[in-house]
Structure 1
Amino acid sequence: MESSSIIAQVHREEALVHSKPGLVSKSSPKKPRSRSIFKALFCCLSAQNVSRPGGSSESPIQKEETNATPKSDLLQCLQYQFYQIPGTSLLPEVAPKDKGKICMVIDLDETLVHSSFKPISNADFIVPVEIEGTTHQVYVLKRPYVDEFLERMGQLYECVLFTASLAKYADPVTDLLDKSGVFRSRLFREACVFHQGCYVKDLSRLGRDLKKTVILDNSPASYIFHPENAVPVQSWFDDMSDTELLSLIPIFEEFSYSEDIYTSLGQLKAP
């Protein structure tokens, strides 16, 4: 009986998905398993060979969407509402103190911190997050030199947090991480474009000149629309000897004077 009810609900919500492109309704009352909750809360769904919208290449995910969506995938997607914000700018007007500065878009998970539902003995933060009526403890580790990195970037750039994670988790983590108010704005999952199974951070919707916008992210899928604006970083989990953020400080200090990031990034990425 319970199985029949779930299948009926899937058919109803699947009809809603197909009738309203870009909109997925909120979750079914069934509680997902712990691993599904973790994926839904923190990170974007990954996909291989993702192309720009309208591109000629067809990925396996495109083929799946063209035919039929597996019920298990559909149920996972229906846990939360995904939608594209209408064509207004995601960011407010540039503050007077940031006039002329490059906008630096910075990812959160595996770029600045690593989070887990499993207890971590040396966690920097423990953040309670309520999911479907149950409070879960999220253990957060800060990447080495993240404080020094953010402090210096806040002096040189208009810094914007942009994460594919849910605000209910990412907002309190950022409150604890960014005590000095380095981030002028914060953007969460609902600001992403859900494209071919990934949450993409479309920089063209920020309301900033793309020639003066750079994104720092560990996931290439996140900046697939604007790879030429990206400075990739290695994913970080728990290596306390990591120095990547520290090594980026002098690079970004010099980079901050650039009038056209494409020229500067081209030189940075040249062999």
Structure 2
Amino acid sequence: MSAATEVAPVQQRGHATAAVWRAVSGWLGLLFQILLRIVRGTPSSWAQLLSFVGLRHPLLPVAAQAQPEVAFVQLPSEAPADTSPPPLRRLTVVLDLDETLVCAYESSSLPATLRTQAVEARLHCFDMECASPEKDAEGRQRVNRVTVFERPGLHEFLQRTSEFADLVLFTAGLEGYAKPLVDRIDAHNRFIRRLYRPSTVTTEYREHVKDLSCLSKDFRRIVLVDNNPYSFLLQPLNGIPCITFSAGQPVDDQVC
């Protein structure tokens, strides 16, 4: 067999092998194009697959790169409501009248030495007329003339206390006597309410007891200032006792 005859089959086999590789390369190129189109449509999953087999994101178009998912939290449209506790309700301070804020004497029976002593001590006093519960022989209402001494610091006490508390006057005196007296000492109307003898109650132990339930059912923000301890019989924990005031004690300002 000649050399030319032996070379021919080898060339034929080389041409066949090249044809096969060209066909395989063509199919691989087609397959890659198909995969690339799929990746462009669904970038996240296929990009992960290609990354797994060794291809990195820079080989892919920008649109094909997987983007991290970001979770957004809905922010409140309004500021949170104020959760601070509500402000405390104002105190109610209930004040007795006679021998607590003032002391009063019938002018005709007031000893001159007592009046002089009080005036020299610069105790403020005034004279006034008030209706008496008694009537004369002809059935007319009697009028009494009284001298009233104010406890030292009275007006300053009322002014300052009214800034943080509601003031209520509660006296066992009759309205005909107490009303014109309170009109004199409360020219600025700092008392929001006035209660007289008919508002007191009678118990088995004492008459003219002051029942604070007629003013409030909540006893946590109410107190009664009185020189008479029997006034506290129904609500003893709400009572604030003070020393009895008289013209013979012109410097006593304990209640104020």
Post-superposition offset of 1:208: 4.5
Q: CA–CA distance in 2 between the matches of 1:202 and 1:137? A: 31
Question: Corresponding residue for 2:210?
Answer: 201
Question: Corresponding residue for 2:226?
Answer: 217
Deviations 1:114-169 (A, max 9, x none): 01113446462222123222221011100011111111111110110000000111
SS in 2 for 1:181: coil
Post-superposition offset of 1:229: 0.4
Q: CA–CA distance in 1 between the matches of 2:94 and 2:180? A: 19
Post-superposition offset of 1:242: 1.2
SS in 2 for 1:194: coil
SS in 1 for 2:94: strand
Question: Corresponding residue for 2:173?
Answer: 165
Q: Could you tell me the TM-score, scaled by structure 2's length?
A: 0.55
Residues 179 and 224 (structure 1), Cα distance of their counterparts in 2 relative to 1, 3 Å cut:
same
Deviations 1:165-217 (A, max 9, x none): 00111111000001111100000000000223420110112134111111101
Q: 2:252 aligns with which of 242, 246, 252?
A: 242
Deviations 1:39-94 (A, max 9, x none): xxxxxxxxxxxxxxxxxxxxxxxxxxxxxxxxxxxxxxxxxxxxxxxxxxxxxxxx
CA contact (8 A) 1:164 1:192 kept: yes
Question: Corresponding residue for 2:130?
Answer: 129
Post-superposition offset of 1:223: 1.4
CA contact (8 A) 1:105 1:161 kept: yes
Q: 2:90 aligns with which of 89, 101, 120?
A: 101
Asked which structure has the greater CA Rg, the reply is 2
Question: Corresponding residue for 1:256?
Answer: none
- Consecutive unaligned residues in structure 1, runs of 5 or more: 1-98, 247-271
Q: How many residues align?
A: 148
Q: Could you tell me the TM-score, scaled by structure 1's length?
A: 0.52
162-171 or 114-123, which moves further after superposition?
114-123
Residues 208 and 103 (structure 1), Cα distance of their counterparts in 2 relative to 1, 3 Å cut:
farther
Once the two structures are aligned, what percentage of the paired residues are identical?
33
Q: CA–CA distance in 2 between the matches of 1:130 and 1:168? A: 5
CA contact (8 A) 1:198 1:222 kept: no
CA contact (8 A) 1:125 1:139 kept: yes
CA contact (8 A) 1:102 1:157 kept: yes
- Consecutive unaligned residues in structure 2, runs of 5 or more: 1-87, 136-140
Report the RMSD for the aligned CA atoms in angstroms.
1.6
